[in-house]
Amino acid sequence: MDYIDRPADVRKGEDLSSENIEAYLKKVMPDLEGPVRVRQYPSGASNLTYLLSFDNRQLVLRRPPFGTKAATAHDMGREYKVLSALSRHWPYAPRPLVYCEDHAVIGSPFYAMEHLKGIILRKDIPDDLFSSAAQVRRLFEKFVNILYELHSLDYHAIGLGDLGKPEGYVRRQVLGWNKRYRAARTPDVPDCESVMAWLEEKIPPETERPGIIHNDFRLDNIVLDPADPFKIIGVLDWEMCTIGDPLMDLGCTLGYWVQKDDPEERHLIRNMPTHVDGALTRRELVDLYGQISGLRMDRFDFYYCFGLFRLAVIIQQIYYRFYHGQTQDQRAKGYARGVPVLERAAKAVMARSDL
């Protein structure tokens, strides 16, 4: 069967000017032929992703979300710079092609990149994509290995030495996400103050091995080869990439990781197939990363708790835009239900932790 990830009609309120896009891109890429057709990838809830189809080529366009945004978030120029460097040294980064700061084109900065045609695993794995739990496990182990490959890149050597400041990274992240949650809180979600206080109290020592971290490394940002679903050909969504503690990256990945024996309420907000037979458990994922990297994993309760809380903040920020009428994306209407679920999961980590 055909499992290629495909776009859909553009959501109401997130339209782009086809005429402006076509005129601009043909000016900077004169080899493009025919009129442009604009469609939208439906999964994105932060930066928005569109497929631009010309007669002879397909491109992917990335732009910030509509509505109020954090002052330092959704920096298209930064994302373009990251991919420009990474795509020359790491085979999983899509190649960016054009960056535009002119708001007259679509109302915001944007960039266009190469289109990676492939399979993306979302909530469930198609029944006939893999024939055994062993094959699923093989893919998940590859997923962990390429995350470590990213963390191991010499970021100075590839031109990303100024991407972030590793010193004090974890503390800045904790304080920053705490501040974002308080700013985005609506009356229908918990205050999460005990979780925020615990995270501030348990901040670990500085890492001795900072690296490039993706900050949203999850299965539905992974592109698989249609001819060989065990082969990863791309990693998407680089808007939060920086230099920092690799274990923070792994903790953020685990924030999304709902395994088979988790409470039912966690499964109700699951959006990736991390629960299937063959999938690594969180403990197995942490142990495998520790084995590959040689890093100590004895403080991982902190990183996992942070990952859960950060995910709560992300979905609350999206819900905040819906609550205040800044987006018409109806998916966001139910996001607030996930915040107390993630808060309870974080509190469960805190209760059993010996940190």
Per-residue pLDDT reduced to its tens digit, 21-37? 999 999 999 999 999 99
Domain count, the chain: 2
Mean pLDDT of 118-136: 92
Same domain for 102 and 158: no
Q: What is the pLDDT of residue 45?
A: 56
In a domain, 7, yes or no: no
In this prediction, residues 71-83 reach a mean pLDDT of 83
pTM of the model: 0.92
- Domain-located, residue 128: no
Q: How much is the pLDDT for 63?
A: 95
Shared-domain flag, residues 186 and 95: no
Residue 127 lies in a domain: no
Tell me, yes or no, whether 162 and 223 share the same domain.
yes
Per-residue 3-state assignment (H helix, E strand, C coil) for the chain: CCCECCCECCCCCCCCCHHHHHHHHHHHCCCCCCCCEEEECCCCCCCEEEEEECCCCEEEEEECCCCCCCCCCCCHHHHHHHHHHHCCCCCCCCCEEEEECCHHHHCCCEEEEECCCCECCCCCCCCCCCCCHHHHHHHHHHHHHHHHHHHHCCCCCCCCCCCCCCCCHHHHHHHHHHHHHHHHCCCCCCCCHHHHHHHHHCCCCCCCCCEEECCCCCHHHEEEECCEEEEEEEECCCCCCEEECHHHHHHHHHHCCCCCCCCHHHHHCCCCCCCCCCCCCHHHHHHHHHHHHCCCCCCHHHHHHHHHHHHHHHHHHHHHHHHCCCCCCHHHHHHHHHHHHHHHHHHHHHHHCCC
**Do 285 and 343 reside in the same domain of the chain?**
yes
Which of 56, 80, 114 represents a domain boundary (last residue)?
114
Q: What percent of the chain has pLDDT over 90?
A: 86
Is 28 among the domain residues?
yes
What does the pLDDT read at residue 66?
Answer: 80
Q: Give a yes or no: residue 54 inside a domain.
A: yes
Question: Do the domain assignments include residue 125?
Answer: no
The residue range of the domain holding 218 is 133-352
Mean pLDDT of the chain: 94
- Could you tell me the CATH number of the domain that includes residue 53? 3.30.200.20
Q: What is the pLDDT of residue 1?
A: 55
Asked if pLDDT for residue 316 goes beyond 80, the answer is yes
Predicted local distance difference test score (pLDDT) of residue 70: 46
Q: Tell me, what CATH number does 330's domain have?
A: 3.90.1200.10
Mean pLDDT calculated for residue range 61-65: 93
Asked if 103 and 24 sit in the same domain, the reply is yes
pLDDT score, position 71: 42
pLDDT at 107: 94
Please tell me the least confidently modeled range out of 2-11, 95-104, 195-204.
Answer: 2-11
